[in-house]
Amino acid sequence: MAQAGIASETIEAANGAAARDLARDYAELGARLARRGVDIEALVGHAQRFAVALPSWGVGTGGTRFGRFPQPGEPRDVFEKLEDCAVVHQLTRATPAVSLHVPWDRPADPAALRRHAEALGLAFDAMNSNTFEDHTPGQLSYKFGSLTHVDAAVREQAIALNVECIELGRALGSKALTVWIGDGGNFPGQLHLRRAFERYVDSLRAIAAKLPADWLLFLEHKLCEPAFYSTVNQDWGTSYAAATAVGPQCRCLVDLGHHAPNVNLELIVARLIQLGKLGGFHFNDSKYGDDDLDAGSIKPFQLFLIFHELVSAEAEGVAGFAPAYLLDQSHNVTDPIESLIVSAVELQRGFVKAWLVDRAKLAECQAKNDALLALQTVKEAFETDVRPILAEARRRNGGAIDPLAVVRAAGWRASCAARRPAARRATAGGIVG
Ligand SMILES: [Mn+2]
C-alpha cells in the first residue's frame, strides 16, 4: 500500500500561519507589476501549470567515484522512491511525473507499480535506458561500448534493453525513451570515428522501429566521460545529425551539464527549437563539468535565458514545440527531497520570469539595434522578485507556501528512517548521464 505523504493538516496549518504575509507581499508585487502593465494573475496561471518530472535515481543519495555517504531513511526500492517523489509533488505541485532508469528501477510488476504511482497522484515520464553498466553477474559486455560496439552481439543486447524499456514504458503509461550512452574511445586510434557513429545511427534506427506511433525517442549528448578522448554523441550538432538520420520521432535532449565550458546553452536551445528537434531537458547546474548540482544554484541567469528562449517559442506558437522537462541531478551532500523541492521551484522561477520579459519592447530594441536597452529589458524581468507569485501558485494548487520549511517541520526523513531499516537497502545512485 502506498505510504501517505505529509498530513494535509500539517500543510494547511503552515499555510495558515504564512497566509497573511503572503497576501500582503502578493498585493504589493501586483501593484508594482500593474505599473509596468503586467497582470500578476496571468503570471500565477503560468506558475500553476509549470511541471517538471523527477528522476527515480535522484531521490537516493548520490555519490562520486570517491565515495557515497547515504543518509538514514533512503528509499530502498522503486516503490519507496515514488513515495519520496510524491512528497516533492505534494508540497510544490510542480512535479507530477517520474522518470525511471532501467535496469536500476526495472519493475517486476509494471501494473502494480503503475497502481502505486496513481495512488500517490503520480504519472510516468520518459523511460531511461542504462547500457553503460552490465547488470548480469560475470558479464562485462559494455566495457567497450553498447549501441556502437564493434561486436554485433553486444549491440543487439543493448538494443534489446531499449526495446524492453519501451515495453515497460507502455505498461506504465510513458510516451518517450531517452537514450544516453557512454560509448566512445579513451585513446586516439581506439575507434574508427565515422564507423562508430554509423553503428550508433543503425542501432537507434532498430530501436526507433519498435516505437509506438505516439512515442518520442530522445538522444542525450555529452562531451566526455566515461570515454575521455572521443565520445560518439558528444555535442548537439552530432545529436541533431543522428536525430535527423533516425527520423521524425527522434529528437535531441539537452542535459545542461553535458557541454564544453562556456558554451552558450541558450543559443543551442534556440537552434534546436528552430530546427524542430528540441526533445527535452535534463536540468541541473554546474561550475566545471557534469557536476549535477541543483538547478539554478550556480548560474541562475543562464537558466533564466534558457527559459526566455523556451517561453518565446511558446508565446510565438512555434509548431510542434513541446519539450519534456526532467531534473537530472546528483544530491551528494543534501537531502535529495529538499534539493528536488528547491530545484523544481528554481525552474518554475525561471519560467515565470521569462513570461515577464516585455517582448514588444525587446523587439523594438532589436529592430533599432539598441543593445543596451535590450539587455535592460531582459534584466528587468530577471531581477524581479517573483517569490510571492510562486508561493501563491503553490497555495492555490494545494501545495505549501514554504515547501522546504514544511518538509523539515513535518519530519518526513525521520519517519522514513524509522520505517525503512537499512538492511534491505539496494538503491542505485552515483554517477549517471
Ligand atoms: Mn542526463
- The reply to whether 168 falls in a domain is yes
Taking the centre of ligand 1 as the mean of its atom positions, its distance from the CA of residue 146, in whole angstroms, is: 17
Q: Which is it for strands 63-64 and 67-68: parallel, antiparallel or unpaired?
A: antiparallel
Please state, in angstroms and rounded to a whole number, the distance separating the CA atoms of residues 217 and 235: 17
Residue 329 alpha carbon to ligand 1 centre in Å? 8
- Whether the per-residue pLDDT at 425 is higher than 60: the answer is no
Contact 185, 150 (CB under 8 A): no
C-alpha cell at 181: 550512452
What CATH number corresponds to the domain at position 273?
Answer: 3.20.20.150
Whether 157 is in a domain gets the answer yes
Q: What is the pLDDT of residue 331?
A: 94
Task: Give the domain range for residue 193.
Answer: 8-424
Note whether residue 134 is domain-resident. yes
Domain assignment of residue 135, yes or no: yes
Work out the pLDDT band at 2, boundaries 50, 70, 90: low
Is 430 inside a domain boundary? no
pLDDT tens across 354-367, in order?
A: 999 999 999 999 99
- Measure 166 CA to ligand 1 centroid, in angstroms: 18
DSSP for 71-98?
Answer: -TT---SHHHHHHHHHHHHHHHS---EE
**Which is nearest to 329 in space by CA: 275, 257, 263, 388?**
257
Task: Give the pLDDT confidence score for residue 68 in this predicted structure.
Answer: 92
Answer whether residue 429 is part of any domain.
Answer: no
CA of 331 from ligand 1 middle (Å) equals 14
Ligand 1 geometric centre to CA of 253 (Å) = 8
Tally of domains within the chain: 1
The C-alpha cell of 56 is what? 527515480
Condensed to tens digits (0 to 9), the pLDDT of residues 27-43 reads 999 999 999 999 999 99
Q: What's the rounded Cα separation, in Å, for the pair 240 and 234?
A: 11
Give the side-chain half-sphere CA count within 13 A for 400: 26
Maximum C-alpha span of the chain: 68
Q: Residue 433 has what pLDDT?
A: 59
Q: Give the per-residue pLDDT at 103.
A: 92
What is the amino acid identity at position 265?
L
Q: State the pLDDT at residue 432.
A: 53
84 lies in some domain: yes
Q: Which residues, by Cβ under 5 Å, contact ligand 1, an ion?
A: 255, 282, 328, 433
Residue 122 CA to residue 68 CA, distance in Å, equals 28
Burial class (CB in 10 A: 0-12, 13-18, 19+), 10: middle
Cα 199 to ligand 1 centroid, rounded to whole Å: 22
Determine whether 260 is exposed, middle or buried from the number of CB atoms within 10 Å of its CB (0-12, 13-18, 19+): exposed
Question: 87, 416 in Cβ contact below 8 A?
Answer: no
- Asked whether residue 3 is assigned to any structural domain, the reply reads no
The Å distance, Cα 244 to ligand 1 centre, comes to 21
